[in-house]
Amino acid sequence: SLNIRLAVIPGDGIGREVVAEGLKVLDAVGLKLETTTYDLGAARYHATGETLPDETLAELRGFDAILLGAVGDPSVPPGVLERELLLRLRFELDHYVNLRPVKLFPGVETPIAAARPEDIDMIVIREGTEGPYAGAGGIMRRGTAQEIATQESFNTAYGVERVVRYAFDKAVARPRKKLTLVHKTNVLTYAGDLWSRVFERVSAEYPEVTTDYCHMDAASMFFVTQPQRFDVVVTDNLFGDILTDLGAAVAGGIGLAASGNVNPSPKGSESWAPSMFEPVHGSAPDIAGQGKADPTATILSVAMLLDHLGLAEEAARVEQAVADDLIGRQTVWAQRSTREIGDDITARVTG
Amino acid sequence: SLNIRLAVIPGDGIGREVVAEGLKVLDAVGLKLETTTYDLGAARYHATGETLPDETLAELRGFDAILLGAVGDPSVPPGVLERELLLRLRFELDHYVNLRPVKLFPGVETPIAAARPEDIDMIVIREGTEGPYAGAGGIMRRGTAQEIATQESFNTAYGVERVVRYAFDKAVARPRKKLTLVHKTNVLTYAGDLWSRVFERVSAEYPEVTTDYCHMDAASMFFVTQPQRFDVVVTDNLFGDILTDLGAAVAGGIGLAASGNVNPSPKGSESWAPSMFEPVHGSAPDIAGQGKADPTATILSVAMLLDHLGLAEEAARVEQAVADDLIGRQTVWAQRSTREIGDDITARVTG
Ligand SMILES: CC(C)[C@H](C(=O)O)[C@@H](O)C(=O)O
Ligand SMILES: CC(C)[C@H](C(=O)O)[C@@H](O)C(=O)O
């Protein structure tokens, strides 16, 4: 069988704990697996000042995939690890598809009173390499009454078209075949104009897909009041960031939300680079080291990783183990530690 | 008693219907009221090509306040009425405080299963004159594969400090005295740096206020899972737009969400201009002219208008009438038209 070479970046806070459980489940799937762990994150930054050395980045390019826990720590100034490590990985490895399912598993409690699992089953496709995340901008007259700070969103036809096309491909393969573009075209008129035109143009190639447009503010409302409106959603980097945390809340909590930073280029092509899978949640320093974190989001990210590597059957087994574990939580209430949840899901994968 | 000179801009779609009810309630309060109606919006745009003529803007400056219904119509390209009419009014009249209460009235159903009225009672203070709403940006090589579109966020110490200061003043006057800054400082590092430093600096003058910071993605989640976390929230123009639609959803629907575009300068000062009150909802062209729109958001906006003009007692009467009407909806279920709801609330104000 396939030999998988996996790079593991546990990162900060609960990142380490949840990644350990993700790897446990991955091991149980029974593949030939070689893992290499990278100690990137706050500790490394404090010890050496390094966030992502160029040699490390070059090494990472050689793996089949990357599993990441979480990055960020209050001891590091805001943005340093996020921009220089996490976002740098997404940008350098050209993870232009940030794939984030928003799915309410049976048995999971949602804060939304009226929602049933069949109402919340969508995939948010967040652009991952441009938009307001470009890091462009500046500050002038810092610290004075005349200070100005700018922050620029860069959007390219190249960048928008490839993610929009990916979204149409996803939508056409799903039973509902519905794709919603979320933006704020009535205010962000330049970026919005580009996104709308590209969306419109590509849609002509997918006559089977029902398309829809929703302003970001209205979409946030509908995620809560009418989640069944959505099947596949495509949106920019910042709107996608916000919508997927909201989606996680609606689908039972950030402890269950998985994600893939995907470079969809065919392996072997020049633009290929390893994709990176990570839970949507952050490093949660307040509960780090206490065994309180739910590793389910990481385990579901492992399922996405398997699926991305073409191991659909293995992916389905992991997802089914999680689904069964989630159903179980409804009937047998028990406070389980991070490790216990990981063990229980692992047992279901092997059993 | 005070003679109020009010400019009324019903606007598009349901704007006309809900404004009629707002005016009915305002009349019932028993003030000396002079209203002038302006036919700005889609119809005027189609008839004359005008959105907001300079002479009209100059006239509007002479009123005590403005009541606006809603602006926007699918027959007009996206952004035209929004940018040239609504946002232009906010910018030209220097409405730097966009005041948006998020409050769950007793008797109102919320989509959030566990939320009680005491859990959802906050004020979102959205910056109203800068940020990503500045309208800056551009498009190059439009329509080609090499197209790029930029969209720029402008943030000034001047603009941020005045709204942050206003937010601290609001927070210190409320029982919980808690103020949360919402931004995305870990990604939007330039704008985020300015906002954080100004927030920090001003907070030193308000030792009684408990301060807190929350990333925009996490805040969206907490609006759904832990709304009781928030008392007063201050945030930028775009994040505030999204958060307040989400807040409206959580607090029982966009039909109840009121807002004030406030210029807090003292009347008579050079920087004074009339403030403008409007429901958070849009023009809802799909239900326009059918008497289906809920005028409550507009009526609550009228209460905010009265409060802004120093008529606290009158404002409280209107808000109480709405609160009583909302309680009534719980026990006596009846589908009422826009006009009937307006009549019922008016009767409570007079009665
Ligand atoms: C940590 C942060 C930089 C990141 C983002 O904004 O993309 C996170 O919120 C996410 O959604 O993966
Ligand atoms: C109509 C639109 C321009 C406006 C905004 O984005 O501010 C609306 O969504 C609002 O919240 O008042």
DSSP secondary structure of A93-153: TT--EEEEEEE--TT---SBTT--GGG-EEEEEEE-SSEEEEEEEEEESTTSTT-EEEEEE
For chain A, 351 residues long, give each residue's pLDDT as a single digit of tens.
579 999 999 999 999 999 999 999 999 999 999 999 999 999 999 999 999 999 999 999 999 999 999 999 999 998 899 999 999 999 999 999 999 999 999 999 999 998 999 999 999 999 999 999 999 999 999 999 999 999 999 999 999 999 999 999 999 999 999 999 999 999 999 999 999 999 999 999 999 999 999 999 999 999 999 999 999 999 999 999 999 999 999 999 999 999 999 999 999 999 999 999 999 999 999 999 999 999 999 999 999 999 999 999 999 999 999 999 999 887 766 789 999 999 999 999 998
Q: Do A151 and B238 touch (CB under 8 A)?
A: no
Residue B341: the pLDDT is: 97
Note the pLDDT tens digit of each residue in B126-137.
999 999 999 999
pLDDT tens digits, B42-77: 999 999 999 999 999 999 999 999 999 999 999 999
Among candidates B41, B24, B8, which has minimal Cα distance to B285?
B41
Cβ–Cβ contact A87 with B under 8 A = yes
At B328 the pLDDT is 87
Contact at CB, A241 and B187, closer than 8 angstroms:
yes
- CA A27, CA A33: separation in Å to the nearest integer? 7
Burial class (CB in 10 A: 0-12, 13-18, 19+), A119: middle
Q: Which of A71, A76, A82, A236 to mutate to test the pocket of ligand 1 (most atoms within 8 A of CB)?
A: A82
Q: Which of B81, B82, B83, B89 to mutate to test the pocket of ligand 2 (most atoms within 8 A of CB)?
A: B82
Nearest C-alpha of chain A: how many angstroms from B142? 8
Select the more confidently predicted residue: B90 or A333: B90
- C-alpha–C-alpha distance, residues B281 and B316, integer Å: 22
Residue B218: CB within 6 Å of ligand 1?
Answer: no
Tens-place pLDDT, residues B245-290: 999 999 999 999 999 999 999 999 999 999 999 999 999 999 999 9
Per-residue pLDDT of A129-161, as tens digits, reads 999 999 999 999 999 999 999 999 999 999 999
Q: How far is it, in rounded angstroms, from Cα B199 to Cα A273?
A: 41
Phi, psi (degrees; rounded to nearest 5) at B73 = -155, 140
- Cα(B92)–Cα(A62) distance, integer angstroms: 55
Strand order of the β-sheet with A148-156 is A131-140, A148-156, B148-156, B131-140
Q: Give the architecture-level CATH label for domain A110-122+131-251.
A: 3-Layer(aba) Sandwich (3.40)
Quick one: pLDDT at residue B331? Answer: 72
CB atoms within 10 A of CB B49: 7
Q: CA–CA separation, A69 vs A85, rounded Å? A: 12
Do A248 and A223 touch, CB atoms closer than 8 A? no
Give the architecture (CATH level 2) of B110-251: 3-Layer(aba) Sandwich (3.40)
Q: Which residue of A has its CA nearest to B146?
A: A157
Token pair, residue B184, equals: 């995305």
A76, A146, A242: best to mutate for the B interface, most B CBs within 10 A? A242
Q: Of the residues A245, A324, A343, A344, which is catalytic?
A: A245
Q: What is residue B239's three-state secondary structure?
A: helix
CATH for the stretch B1-95+258-351: 3.40.718.10
Q: Would you give the DSSP letter of residue B28? A: H
Query: Is there a shared CATH topology between the A1-107+254-351 domain and the A110-122+131-251 domain?
Result: yes
Taking CA–CA distances from B113, the nearest residue in chain A reads A113
Residues of B carrying an active site annotation:
133, 184, 217, 241, 245
The 10s digit of each residue's pLDDT in B17-28 is 999 999 999 999
The DSSP result for A146-206, as a single string, is T-EEEEEEEEEHHHHHHHHHHHHHHHHTSSS-EEEEEE-TTTSHHHHHHHHHHHHHHHTT-
- Please judge whether A158 and B146 are an interchain contact, meaning their C-beta atoms are less than 8 angstroms apart: yes
Name the residue at shortest CA distance from atom 2 of ligand 2.
Answer: B82
> Higher pLDDT residue, B331 or B53?
B53
Structure tokens that stand for A331 in this block: 């009937």
A77 to chain B, any CB pair closer than 8 A? The answer is: no
Q: Is the per-residue pLDDT at B1 higher than 90?
A: no
Inter-chain contact B186–A78, Cβ cutoff 8 Å? yes
Q: Where are the domains of chain B?
A: 1-95+258-351, 110-251
Residue B333 clears pLDDT 70, i.e. is over it: no
The residue count of chain A comes to: 351
- pLDDT for res B332: 67
**B74 in A contact zone (CB under 8 Å):** no
Asked if the C-beta of A74 comes within 8 angstroms of chain B's C-beta atoms, the answer is: no
Q: Report which ligand 2 atom has the smallest distance to the Cα of B83.
A: 3
CATH of domain A1-107+254-351: 3.40.718.10
